[in-house]
Amino acid sequence: MTSYRQQEPLPSDRSGQETENEIDLHTLWQGVRRRLPWILLVAALLAVAVYVWSRFQPDVYEASSSLITTGNGEVSSLRDSLVTAPPLPEGALQEALQGPIVLGEVIRRVREDSRLTPAVRAKIADELQKELQTRRMTTLDLQSRLDPGGNGIYTVTAKGPTAQAATLLTDITAQALLNWDRGRALQGVQRAENSLRAQLAEIDRQLKSETVNGLERQTLVAARATAQRNLAQASIQAEGASGSLELVAPAVAPLKPVAPKPLRNAVLTGLLVLLLGSGIAALRTVLDRTVRSEDDLLNFGLPTLGVIPRLRKRDIVFNGIVRAARQAGLYEAVGFLRVNLLTRLGMQSGKRVMISSTAPGEGKSSLTATLADGLATSGQRVLIIDADLRRGTQQEVWDKYERDHTWHQLTGTGGARTFQDALRNPENVQVMEAEPDVHVLPAGPGIHDSLALLNRPDLGDLLRNWSHTYDVVLLDSPPLLAIADGLVIGKYVDAVLIVTEEGKTSLQSVRQVLRRAQGAGVPILGFILNKVAVSAQEARTYGYGYAPRAKEVR
């Protein structure tokens, strides 16, 4: 009997890692598209939530006022009679607005303004006080447009819960800035006045002294008159002192609130979530080291014999895997697998094929039952041996399809009806008729010493003896990376199929399985890509949608 052994060497670790690291745009798009429904759902839900939340937010109105500054704007003919504050350096007015002098005055005037309701006054004042303490301005804003000479415009913007509150707050803030700017000019005059008053006090003290002669007294009187004139002139200059800022346009009451904007917020939220979700999906695809397509498996030098689409869990629960596969139209997918398998096995009967996987949950038992059903429909007599002695599931799979089974004699008379009992008493074995041309030898209750039962020298002879009346024998074995049972059984079969699950089976696990199989002399024939998410367009490509055309009624 011909044995199908792996002829090609395994790819090296270096080339395998290079293959894992390679990803093309098509694969990237497939990864994003696979997660796109969830991304769109989350984006829509968050957009709706933001829209509803924004609708219930209080209105915010915004008003603005303009101030002009002239860097060196003194009129030359009046330079001696006017005192003007020096030009403001870049950023000085913004710092002043956030400081306690300007903002403190704004807070005080807001609390005293009777044009606002007590609740609005308290709310604005409390927010400004908090912003003063944290130095993070959100209610007030100051923008500047200045040329290199310091000339330009400052725009004061204020937000409020009502149009009137925003307008009044803007005007109060602009006036507070003008007062602070004028105060800079008054500081120099006030220092001059204080100095002149100190000089007058000293002259008066000296005039009262009895030691001052006549000439000195005349000098002091003249100095006193000069100081008095200078003090009077300083007082006049104080009245005309001005800053470098002037009010250009007071605030105008806004007609519409600037916030909230539910539709804009919802659209921006949806777009942001969509972009962020797509980016995360693309990143996960790039970092994905699982089997994503047939190309990933072909890099190991072995063929992919079948690509099986994913079934809905609801159909499997209600109908069982065999009926669900029939109703879902998996005949084409299983048909490709059947043709590829029989082509490689040849026409000789009694071929033994072990179906395994890298880890539990990849669908090997369900696929074994589905493949057996497909082989039976093509006229093949199939025996399924559930060789997973620890967690056998073939009995449960076929009980979902049909609970009343007929038992046929495989060898001898009566005897064992499970694989573990058949290993103990191989001369008398019965098998269950799951459906026409499909017989099953269930695994039996789970045991922990399964390897002790399998490690018998005549295991190969037993399998050959049980196989001679069947065209194909399918052995459902435990995962090759879970326990060593599959490696023991695999030495006595003609071919081994490795079931991999799209998006779950890691490439590293496949590589480890191939190493172990090569070391144990297990003939790996190829892979089966299971649970593939197939779109409508791909379904037509695979032929799933190629249904018979109904007759046209005339």
Predicted local confidence at residue 82, as pLDDT: 58
Residue 535 pLDDT exceeds 60? no
What's the burial of 119, exposed, middle or buried (CB within 10 Å: 0-12/13-18/19+)?
A: exposed
Contact yes or no for 123/161 (Cβ under 8 A): yes
Residue 7 scores a pLDDT above 80: no
**Comparing 109 with 27, which gets the higher pLDDT?**
109
pLDDT, residue 188, reads: 67
Inter-helix orientation angle 394-401/313-327, to 10°: 70
The confidence score (pLDDT) of residue 191 equals 73
Lowest model confidence (mean pLDDT) among 305-314, 320-329, 442-451: 320-329
Alpha carbon separation from 89 to 85, 114, 221, 365, 483 (Å, rounded): 12, 36, 44, 80, 78
The C-alpha torsion from 21 through 25 and 26 to 32, rounded to 10°, is: 90
Position 300 pLDDT exceeds 60: yes
Alpha-carbon gap, residue 312 to 526, rounded angstroms: 26
Residue 32 DSSP one-character state: H
Q: How far is CA 393 from CA 119, 431, 459, in A?
A: 72, 15, 22
Q: Match domain 61-187+244-249 to its CATH number in 3.40.190.10, 3.40.50.10900, 3.30.70.1130, 1.10.3720.10.
A: 3.30.70.1130
Q: What is the pTM of this model?
A: 0.59
Mean pLDDT computed over 434-457: 90
Structure tokens at 466: 């049980």
For the record, the structure tokens of 313 come out as 């869990």
Weakest-pLDDT range from 71-75, 461-465, 536-540: 536-540
The Cα 29–Cα 535 span in angstroms is: 14
Read off the amino acid at residue 9.
P
Q: Where are the domains of the chain?
A: 23-57+262-288, 61-187+244-249, 290-542
What type of residue sits at position 383? Answer: L
Beta carbons within 8 Å of 168's beta carbon, 6+ residues apart: 110, 113, 115, 116, 160, 251
Q: For residue range 28-39, list pLDDT tens digits in order.
A: 887 788 889 999
In contact, 369 and 432? CB cutoff 8 Å:
no
Q: Choose among 372, 443, 366, 367: nearest CA to 397.
A: 366
Structure token digits, residue 356: 């395994």
pLDDT at 241: 66
Distance, CA of 245 to CA of 68 (rounded, Å): 6
Question: In the numeric block, which tokens belong to residue 74?
Answer: 């003194």
Domains 61-187+244-249 and 290-542 equal at CATH topology level = no
Architecture in CATH for domain 290-542: 3-Layer(aba) Sandwich (3.40)
Task: Find all residues with CB under 8 Å of 70, minimum gap 6, and list them.
Answer: 87, 150, 151, 244, 246
* Arithmetic mean of pLDDT, 29-51: 91
